[in-house]
């Protein structure tokens, strides 16, 4: 079955080529000569080729470049990106410090515990309990905002 498909494709291909030739109104003899030229052109199609840095007038884009060794012979050199990025300077080191944020969070947790204890100890005084519960809710909301990685990252100090 695949042979029939190929035969059909080849016949369609030939018919289409003949149709195009007929549309251009060329005699069949010239068309045959042009087919020969086209076949010859296909063997000499342009392809990728090396263009040296001197000819292209641009800096090489890769890690390798052609240069001359101590004897004047051409040689391929490897440009290490780590050496070129640092330009001879030592790497800069930074220290991240989250102590201030951690202290803030620890104080809020201590205040939360203190307020809970005060609420338990003042069970008889409802006015005082409501006031303490209001403060507790404020502390809990502040703690929920600050006790997360995003807040820590935003408030980290770098030295």
Residue-wise pLDDT tens digits, 136-152: 999 999 999 999 999 99
| Cα(66)–Cα(52) distance, integer angstroms | 8
pTM, 2 dp: 0.43
Residue 114 confidence (pLDDT)? 95
Asked whether residue 54 carries a pLDDT value surpassing 90, the answer given is: no
CB 65 within 8 A of CB 77: yes
Residue-wise pLDDT tens digits, 84-103: 555 556 778 889 999 999 99
Q: For residues 4-13, b (16+ Cβ closer than 10 Å) or e, as one string?
A: eeeeeeeeee
- 7-11, 22-26, 27-31: least confidently modelled range: 7-11
| Cα(33)–Cα(26) distance, integer angstroms | 11
Residue-wise pLDDT tens digits, 123-139: 888 889 999 999 999 99
| Cα(75)–Cα(68) distance, integer angstroms | 5
């Amino acid at each position: 079955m695949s042979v029939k498909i190929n035969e059909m494709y080849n016949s369609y291909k030939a018919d289409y080529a003949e149709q195009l030739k007929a549309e251009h109104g060329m005699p069949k003899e010239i068309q045959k000569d042009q087919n020969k030229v086209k076949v010859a052109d296909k063997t000499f199609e342009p392809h990728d080729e090396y263009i040296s840095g001197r000819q292209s007038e641009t800096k090489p884009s890769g890690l390798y470049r052609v240069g001359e060794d101590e004897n004047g012979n051409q040689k391929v050199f490897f440009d290490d990106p780590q050496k070129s990025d640092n330009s001879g300077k030592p790497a800069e080191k930074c220290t991240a410090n989250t102590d201030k944020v951690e202290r803030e969070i620890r104080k809020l947790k201590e205040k939360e515990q203190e307020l809970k204890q005060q609420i338990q100890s003042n069970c008889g005084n409802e006015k005082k309990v409501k006031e303490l519960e209001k403060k507790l809710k404020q502390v809990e909301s502040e703690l929920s905002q600050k006790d997360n990685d995003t807040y820590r990252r935003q408030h980290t100090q770098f030295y």
